[in-house]
Amino acid sequence: MDEILVMSGVEAEFMEQEVHQERERLEKGNVPLTDRQRAGIQEYAKQTLRCTIARILSNESHRSFTTHLAESSLLQWFCGITNRGVIRVPSKSTLQRMASEVPTEIIEQLHRLLLTRSAAVDADGASVLGLAESVDLSLIWMDSTCAKLDIHYPADWILLRDATRTIMRAIAVIRKHGLIHRMPAPETFIAAMNQQTMAMSGASRRGRGGDKKRARKRVLRVMKRIVRKVQRHGRRYRDMLVKCWAETDLSRAQAQRIIDRVDGILQALPAAVKQAHERIIGERVVPNVDKKLSLYEPHAQVYVRGKAGAD
């Protein structure tokens, strides 16, 4: 990369741009640019470009990179940081400011140059960058293993709340369109489940120990009782809509959509209840392959990809 920066002229062009901008700023106040100022600007521009490139290639955060830079003499050499007895490296905030000063066009240009050099070979057929094999640019590598789903954190007891909300809202829609069966207002079930959800969150923040476990088990038992009632009402209203949808002002397609929504939750709910019971009451570990992560995305699975924040 050092050779690419020097031989391509990208680094020299960036330094000259920085010098030109500073000269224009000083000329507005009729102040000349001294040789010492010019050298300082060039040195800072060189550090700015090289620190930004090194951080991007290392795929580290600004905070992690400044620590890495302080302990690596190779990185210090590449970034143009001289060591005169005391190691002084850019701070996290300085690295962020440096990154904002490097135009995107320069990064893209260096990226193209690096790709070109990675595919180049010398007269003996060896990679000019010293790679074991030159890069074949005719191949496209795509990370298509999985995609991060737009779902909330998949806590199993949260799934019970999701099921309650979905079924009760579906029942509210059915009742609104004329099919009514004797039961408490659907909103009361949602409110009761929300209350237990907050209680579970509070119990989870108690720290460690027996009190926390007992509190979580107690709350989950209440949630399971609510879910059983919700299941009964959901099945009753689902069957009623199947038989009597013509008595409502819903079209067949609209009624079927509500039925499918309730069916999907009713089918997935037993597994979600069992999972919460196993983990919280049984205190047993549930394998990733058996976990129910979402009631609405049945294909959701845990994939360990070896990337930060990308499980």
> Where are the chain's structural domains?
1-119, 156-290
Supply the DSSP symbol for 66. H
Give CA–CA dist 46/191, Å, rounded.
61
Burial class (CB in 10 A: 0-12, 13-18, 19+), 156: buried
Burial class (CB in 10 A: 0-12, 13-18, 19+), 65: buried
Compute the chain's Rg from CA coordinates.
31
pLDDT band at 109 (very low <50, low <70, confident <90, very high): confident
pLDDT band at 277 (very low <50, low <70, confident <90, very high): very high
- Give 141-154 pLDDT, tens digit per residue: 766 666 677 777 77
Token digits of residue 115 = 């790709």
In the predicted model, what is the mean pLDDT of residues 251-266? 92
Supply the DSSP symbol for 83. -
Supply the DSSP symbol for 278. I
Q: Which residues pair with 127 in a beta bridge?
A: 121
- Give 185-233 pLDDT, tens digit per residue: 999 999 999 999 999 888 877 666 668 888 889 999 999 999 999 999 9
pLDDT at 168 over 90: yes
Q: Which residues of 249-265 are buried (b: 16+ CB within 10 A; e: fewer)?
A: ebeeeebeebbebbeeb
| pTM attached to this predicted model | 0.52
Token digits of residue 103 = 């135009």
**Which amino acid, residue 280?**
I
Sign of CA dihedral 243, 244, 246, 250: negative
